[in-house]
Amino acid sequence: MVFKSKSDYIFGAYSPCKWESTSSYKYVEDNTLSSFIFSQTHDQVYPLNQDQKQYAIYCYSKYYGPVFGQGCDIYINNNFTDGYSRLGHSYQFSQYKNLNDDPYLFGQNKPEIKESFDLDILKIIVVQQNDYNKKLNDITRITISLCINYQMDQHTTYLQVLFFISLKQKNLVMKTLIR
């Protein structure tokens, strides 16, 4: 999902988890740890915390729009005007921690979505760490490139996934790590 707020902030999120409308609340776990939130405005990607993988997305009723994270790292109502962002609960965000209704992601306290885009995942390519820059240089039609500066540890595999996502009129390339 990619959104543009009335403040012209571009942000979004991705999760491989299945969305469903339920009569009671339900968190969906992402065992792949490939869910992430991003801000094109701030040129940042915020991956799912390993110890929060059971809270990747939140499903409830038809009145809820997309919700990412236990503390509503992103919550957008089904009307796309109401909601809030509290980055740092389930998704990695080092600048602030659990701020209520923080304008950082939307450029304002409420999302007030001006545009949204349907995403089609065209291709997933898994490459070794050393091959990433070479593969990225071979791609010529990139309009937006989002990368994470991420310290790998002993729990991280050295594979990277490039998500080639087609937007209606734009191309977006995102990189995330698989643990």
pLDDT digits (tens, 9 = 90+) for 6-23: 888 888 888 888 877 777
From CA 87, how far away is CA 105, in angstroms rounded? 8
User: In this model, does residue 155 exceed pLDDT 60?
Assistant: no
Tell me, yes or no, whether 109 and 150 share the same domain. no
Q: Which of 79, 96, 117 is the last residue of a domain?
A: 117
Distance of CA 88 to the CA centre of its chain: 13
Domain assignment of residue 131, given as a range: 120-177
Name which of 41-45, 88-92, 99-103 the model is least confident about.
99-103
Amino acid 141 reads R
Residues near 79 by Cβ (< 8 Å), separated by ≥ 6?
Answer: 65
In our burial notation (b when 16+ CB lie closer than 10 A, e otherwise), range 139-169 reads: eeeeebebebeeeeeeeeeeebebbbbeeee
How many structural domains comprise the chain? 2
Tell me, yes or no, whether 78 and 163 share the same domain. no
Contact 73, 98 (CB under 8 A): no
Tell me, yes or no, whether 127 and 106 share the same domain. no
Tell me, yes or no, whether 143 and 75 share the same domain. no
Tell me, yes or no, whether 54 and 97 share the same domain. yes
Tell me, yes or no, whether 81 and 7 share the same domain. yes
Tell me, yes or no, whether 78 and 25 share the same domain. yes
pLDDT value for 10: 83
Q: Which of 74, 101, 117 is the last residue of a domain?
A: 117
Q: Are strands 10-14 and 57-59 parallel, antiparallel or unpaired?
A: unpaired
